[in-house]
């Protein structure tokens, strides 16, 4: 927990009582972020736009992939814009939620087993006009990582190291890749929890870190505002909207509604930013933890009411 820019709570729970060595190892060990990775990929897209490597979110996706003329000969796919990928509204027939990842018919599983993950992500049928229908799709995030490579000449992991992690002092990280060095930009990043908190604090500070603008404040605003009709968000997601690879939601603390946006990953990986409370919360767990949303319950039941009861900081 980071409050007003200061680390106020840090706790790691060992499997065995009093196992302090394991607790220390967890503090220094990078954690698999699963799909919370997607929010980091979105930050990289914002940095690429800031550097004028990408003109903006209205740029046509086809311009980045001239090697797939057969795919983009489809008129609907030719209309795909970067914003449609960022907001999970590409309109493709992708099923990642109704089938478990153990099911070989899950489209994410089929993509990673294919010879060309990028082609697989694009070649499924169009079921809705781009920008009109939300469907959670990790393939789109992998494509976003490949776009970083296309425009910068750097794989997404190297681009992140140079333009995001190094400026934040993040040195211990790992990003998995598919064959052909395609970065798993939808879920393959490993970071220490403290460094996950730095990313939340970066956004809380409007894209600034220690006085330096790492990503534009405009990108922070765009990527954390809602681009999807709330009625389209599945109830199982426990969210109220979706930005550019960030989830939007709120909590109840007594009679108050507390707004938030978050990076979220399977098993309970969270970076949750509370702008009005000047607070960042990070939770991690094993990727196969069935209690994925337990941190949200903990926040609403215990943490946010306690924060609301704190006295306001004195003016100086």
Structural contact between residues 89 and 227, judged by C-beta atoms closer than 8 angstroms:
yes
- Which pLDDT belongs to residue 290? 85
- Buried b / exposed e across 203-240, counting CB within 10 Å, b at 16+? bbbebbbeeeebbbeebbebbbebbbeeeebeeebebe
Structural contact between residues 80 and 73, judged by C-beta atoms closer than 8 angstroms:
no
Return the closest-CA partner of residue 46 out of 176, 261, 221, 184: 221
Distances (CA, A) of 161 to 58, 78, 84, 298: 26, 32, 26, 33
- Give every CB contact of residue 212 below 8 A, 6+ residues apart in sequence: 167
| Residues lower than pLDDT 50 in the chain | 315-316
Helix (H, G, I), strand (E, B) or coil at 141: helix
Q: How far apart are the first and last CA of the chain?
A: 24
- Which pLDDT belongs to residue 35? 97
- Determine the CATH number of domain 2-308: 3.40.710.10
- Distance (Å, whole) CA 277 – CA 304: 9
- Which pLDDT belongs to residue 310? 76
- Which pLDDT belongs to residue 23? 59
- Which pLDDT belongs to residue 315? 45
Q: How many CB atoms lie within 10 A of CB 153?
A: 10
**Which residues on adjacent β-strands are paired with residue 212?**
209
- Which pLDDT belongs to residue 287? 77
- Which pLDDT belongs to residue 17? 55
- Which pLDDT belongs to residue 316? 44
Query: What are the sequence ranges of the domains in the chain?
Result: 2-308
Q: Checking phi first, is residue 181 left (phi over 0); if not, alpha (psi -120 to 50) or beta?
A: left
pLDDT tens-digit series, residues 65-109: 999 999 999 999 999 999 999 999 999 999 998 998 899 999 999
For residue 309, report the phi and psi dihedrals to the nearest 5 degrees: -85, -10
Strands 247-253 and 212-213: unpaired
Return the closest-CA partner of residue 278 out of 248, 253, 298, 308: 308
In terms of Cβ atoms closer than 10 Å to its own Cβ (0-12, 13-18, 19+), residue 242 is buried
Structural contact between residues 182 and 118, judged by C-beta atoms closer than 8 angstroms:
yes
Return the closest-CA partner of residue 265 out of 241, 252, 282: 282
- Which pLDDT belongs to residue 14? 65
């Amino acid at each position: 927990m980071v409050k007003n820019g200061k680390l106020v709570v840090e706790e790691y729970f060992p499997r065995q009582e009093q196992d302090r060595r394991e607790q220390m190892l967890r503090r220094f060990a990078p954690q698999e972020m699963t799909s919370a990775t997607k929010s980091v990929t979105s930050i990289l897209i914002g940095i690429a736009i800031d550097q004028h490597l990408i003109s903006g979110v209205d740029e046509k996706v086809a311009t980045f992939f001239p090697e797939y003329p057969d795919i983009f000969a489809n008129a609907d796919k030719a209309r795909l814009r970067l914003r449609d990928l960022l907001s999970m509204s590409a309109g493709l027939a992708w099923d990642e939620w109704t089938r478990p990842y153990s099911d070989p018919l899950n489209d994410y599983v089929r993509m990673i087993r294919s010879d060309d993950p990028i082609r697989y992500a694009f070649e499924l049928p169009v079921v809705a006009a781009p920008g009109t229908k939300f469907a959670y799709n990790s393939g789109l995030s992998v494509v976003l990582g490949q776009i970083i490579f296309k425009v910068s000449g750097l794989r997404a992991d190297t681009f992140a190291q140079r333009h995001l992690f190094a400026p934040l002092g993040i040195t211990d990280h790992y990003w998995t890749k598919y064959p052909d060095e395609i970065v798993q930009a939808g879920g393959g990043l490993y970071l220490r929890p403290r460094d996950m908190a730095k990313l939340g604090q970066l956004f809380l500070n409007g894209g600034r870190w220690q006085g330096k603008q790492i990503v534009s404040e405009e990108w922070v605003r765009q990527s954390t505002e809602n681009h999807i009709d709330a009625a389209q968000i599945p109830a199982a997601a426990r969210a109220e909207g979706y930005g550019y690879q960030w989830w939007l939601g709120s909590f109840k603390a007594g009679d108050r509604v507390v707004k938030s946006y978050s990076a979220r990953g399977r098993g309970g990986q969270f970076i949750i930013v509370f702008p009005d409370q000047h607070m960042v919360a990070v939770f991690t767990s094993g990727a196969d933890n069935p209690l994925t949303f337990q941190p949200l319950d903990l926040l609403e039941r215990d943490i946010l009411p306690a924060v609301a009861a704190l006295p306001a900081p004195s003016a100086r």
